[in-house]
Amino acid sequence: MGTEESTGFEPATGDGPPIAEPAVTRAASVRTAFEGLLQIRRLTGTARPDPEAAPAPWELNRPVRAVALALERSGATPSAVDPSGRRVSAGYRVSDGESAGSVRVEWTGPPGSGAAHDEEEALAGCAAALREAGWTVLLYRGPRRRRYLEVEPPSGLSGGRARS
Protein backbone atom coordinates (compact mmCIF):
# COMPACT_ATOMS: atom_id res chain seq x y z
CA MET A 1 0.00 0.00 0.00
CA GLY A 2 1.39 3.42 -0.98
CA THR A 3 1.91 6.38 1.31
CA GLU A 4 -1.05 8.26 -0.15
CA GLU A 5 -3.38 5.34 0.52
CA SER A 6 -2.21 4.92 4.10
CA THR A 7 -2.05 8.57 5.16
CA GLY A 8 -4.08 10.50 2.57
CA PHE A 9 -2.79 12.99 0.06
CA GLU A 10 -0.90 15.98 1.41
CA PRO A 11 0.23 18.76 -0.92
CA ALA A 12 3.85 19.83 -0.55
CA THR A 13 4.17 22.96 1.59
CA GLY A 14 7.96 23.19 1.35
CA ASP A 15 8.46 22.23 4.99
CA GLY A 16 8.40 18.45 4.50
CA PRO A 17 10.92 15.94 3.24
CA PRO A 18 11.81 15.77 -0.45
CA ILE A 19 9.05 14.05 -2.41
CA ALA A 20 10.09 10.42 -2.64
CA GLU A 21 7.46 8.98 -4.96
CA PRO A 22 8.06 8.88 -8.72
CA ALA A 23 7.22 12.15 -10.50
CA VAL A 24 4.52 10.55 -12.67
CA THR A 25 2.80 9.06 -9.60
CA ARG A 26 2.95 12.34 -7.71
CA ALA A 27 1.62 14.28 -10.72
CA ALA A 28 -1.34 11.90 -10.96
CA SER A 29 -2.07 12.37 -7.23
CA VAL A 30 -1.87 16.15 -7.54
CA ARG A 31 -4.13 16.10 -10.61
CA THR A 32 -6.72 13.96 -8.80
CA ALA A 33 -6.64 16.17 -5.70
CA PHE A 34 -7.03 19.35 -7.75
CA GLU A 35 -9.92 17.87 -9.76
CA GLY A 36 -11.57 17.02 -6.44
CA LEU A 37 -11.06 20.60 -5.28
CA LEU A 38 -12.69 21.91 -8.47
CA GLN A 39 -15.63 19.56 -7.88
CA ILE A 40 -16.01 20.98 -4.35
CA ARG A 41 -16.02 24.48 -5.88
CA ARG A 42 -18.71 23.49 -8.39
CA LEU A 43 -20.91 21.96 -5.70
CA THR A 44 -20.55 24.76 -3.14
CA GLY A 45 -20.33 27.78 -5.46
CA THR A 46 -23.65 27.41 -7.26
CA ALA A 47 -24.61 31.03 -6.44
CA ARG A 48 -21.61 32.37 -8.37
CA PRO A 49 -21.56 32.79 -12.16
CA ASP A 50 -18.33 30.74 -12.36
CA PRO A 51 -18.15 28.44 -9.33
CA GLU A 52 -14.62 27.30 -10.21
CA ALA A 53 -13.26 30.87 -10.18
CA ALA A 54 -13.02 31.34 -6.40
CA PRO A 55 -11.97 29.28 -3.40
CA ALA A 56 -14.61 27.10 -1.77
CA PRO A 57 -15.37 27.08 1.97
CA TRP A 58 -13.23 23.93 2.29
CA GLU A 59 -10.23 25.93 1.01
CA LEU A 60 -10.97 28.91 3.24
CA ASN A 61 -10.84 26.61 6.27
CA ARG A 62 -7.54 25.03 5.10
CA PRO A 63 -5.81 27.85 3.23
CA VAL A 64 -2.24 26.52 3.58
CA ARG A 65 -3.24 23.15 2.07
CA ALA A 66 -5.33 24.80 -0.67
CA VAL A 67 -2.57 27.22 -1.69
CA ALA A 68 0.06 24.45 -1.58
CA LEU A 69 -2.14 22.29 -3.81
CA ALA A 70 -2.59 25.12 -6.33
CA LEU A 71 1.18 25.71 -6.41
CA GLU A 72 2.05 22.06 -6.77
CA ARG A 73 -0.56 21.70 -9.50
CA SER A 74 1.06 24.60 -11.37
CA GLY A 75 4.36 22.72 -11.51
CA ALA A 76 6.16 25.02 -9.07
CA THR A 77 8.92 23.29 -7.11
CA PRO A 78 8.47 22.96 -3.35
CA SER A 79 11.40 23.44 -1.00
CA ALA A 80 12.18 20.56 1.37
CA VAL A 81 13.86 19.89 4.69
CA ASP A 82 15.77 16.90 6.06
CA PRO A 83 14.79 15.12 9.30
CA SER A 84 16.78 17.64 11.36
CA GLY A 85 14.81 20.54 9.82
CA ARG A 86 17.70 21.77 7.67
CA ARG A 87 16.55 23.07 4.29
CA VAL A 88 17.88 20.80 1.53
CA SER A 89 16.30 22.17 -1.66
CA ALA A 90 15.13 25.49 -3.06
CA GLY A 91 11.51 26.14 -3.85
CA TYR A 92 8.28 27.56 -2.50
CA ARG A 93 7.39 27.43 1.19
CA VAL A 94 3.75 27.89 2.23
CA SER A 95 2.86 28.85 5.81
CA ASP A 96 0.21 30.71 7.78
CA GLY A 97 0.04 34.41 6.96
CA GLU A 98 -0.08 37.31 9.36
CA SER A 99 -3.88 37.56 9.44
CA ALA A 100 -6.45 34.80 9.93
CA GLY A 101 -7.21 33.04 6.66
CA SER A 102 -4.15 34.41 4.87
CA VAL A 103 -1.14 32.45 3.66
CA ARG A 104 2.49 33.43 3.19
CA VAL A 105 4.46 32.06 0.23
CA GLU A 106 8.24 32.44 0.21
CA TRP A 107 10.92 31.19 -2.16
CA THR A 108 13.59 29.66 0.02
CA GLY A 109 16.44 27.20 -0.04
CA PRO A 110 19.64 26.12 1.65
CA PRO A 111 22.60 28.52 1.78
CA GLY A 112 24.25 28.76 -1.63
CA SER A 113 21.20 27.46 -3.51
CA GLY A 114 20.53 30.74 -5.30
CA ALA A 115 17.01 30.98 -3.87
CA ALA A 116 17.37 34.70 -3.12
CA HIS A 117 18.51 35.33 -6.69
CA ASP A 118 15.62 33.30 -8.16
CA GLU A 119 12.84 34.54 -5.88
CA GLU A 120 11.55 37.44 -7.99
CA GLU A 121 10.87 35.33 -11.08
CA ALA A 122 9.77 32.27 -9.08
CA LEU A 123 7.33 34.24 -6.93
CA ALA A 124 5.91 35.92 -10.04
CA GLY A 125 5.11 32.45 -11.38
CA CYS A 126 3.57 31.43 -8.04
CA ALA A 127 1.47 34.62 -7.98
CA ALA A 128 0.17 33.97 -11.51
CA ALA A 129 -0.80 30.38 -10.63
CA LEU A 130 -2.57 31.48 -7.46
CA ARG A 131 -4.46 34.28 -9.20
CA GLU A 132 -5.54 31.79 -11.85
CA ALA A 133 -6.85 29.59 -9.01
CA GLY A 134 -8.96 32.50 -7.71
CA TRP A 135 -6.82 33.84 -4.86
CA THR A 136 -5.87 37.47 -4.18
CA VAL A 137 -2.07 37.80 -4.13
CA LEU A 138 0.06 40.69 -2.87
CA LEU A 139 3.85 40.93 -3.14
CA TYR A 140 5.81 42.29 -0.15
CA ARG A 141 9.42 42.75 0.92
CA GLY A 142 10.37 41.47 4.34
CA PRO A 143 13.54 41.37 6.39
CA ARG A 144 16.78 41.53 4.40
CA ARG A 145 14.65 42.77 1.48
CA ARG A 146 13.48 39.22 0.72
CA ARG A 147 10.23 39.08 -1.21
CA TYR A 148 7.19 37.04 -0.23
CA LEU A 149 3.55 36.71 -1.23
CA GLU A 150 0.58 37.26 1.05
CA VAL A 151 -2.34 35.22 -0.29
CA GLU A 152 -5.94 35.85 0.73
CA PRO A 153 -9.43 34.89 -0.41
CA PRO A 154 -10.97 37.37 -2.87
CA SER A 155 -13.09 40.21 -1.47
CA GLY A 156 -16.48 39.00 -0.37
CA LEU A 157 -15.25 35.59 0.74
CA SER A 158 -14.36 35.32 4.39
CA GLY A 159 -11.63 32.98 5.56
CA GLY A 160 -12.22 30.15 7.95
CA ARG A 161 -11.05 29.92 11.50
CA ALA A 162 -9.16 26.64 11.33
CA ARG A 163 -5.46 26.86 10.53
CA SER A 164 -3.61 24.14 8.67
Q: Distance of CA 87 to CAs 16, 82, 114, 142, Å?
A: 9, 6, 13, 19
pLDDT at 3: 43
> 8: burial class by Cβ within 10 Å (0-12, 13-18, 19+)?
exposed
Closest listed residue to residue 91, CA positions, set 27, 13, 11: 13
Predicted pLDDT of residue 158: 58
pLDDT in 10s for each residue of the chain, 164 residues: 344 444 688 999 999 999 999 999 999 999 999 999 999 999 998 888 898 999 999 999 999 999 999 999 999 999 999 999 999 999 999 999 999 889 999 999 999 999 999 999 999 999 999 999 999 999 999 888 899 999 999 886 655 443 33
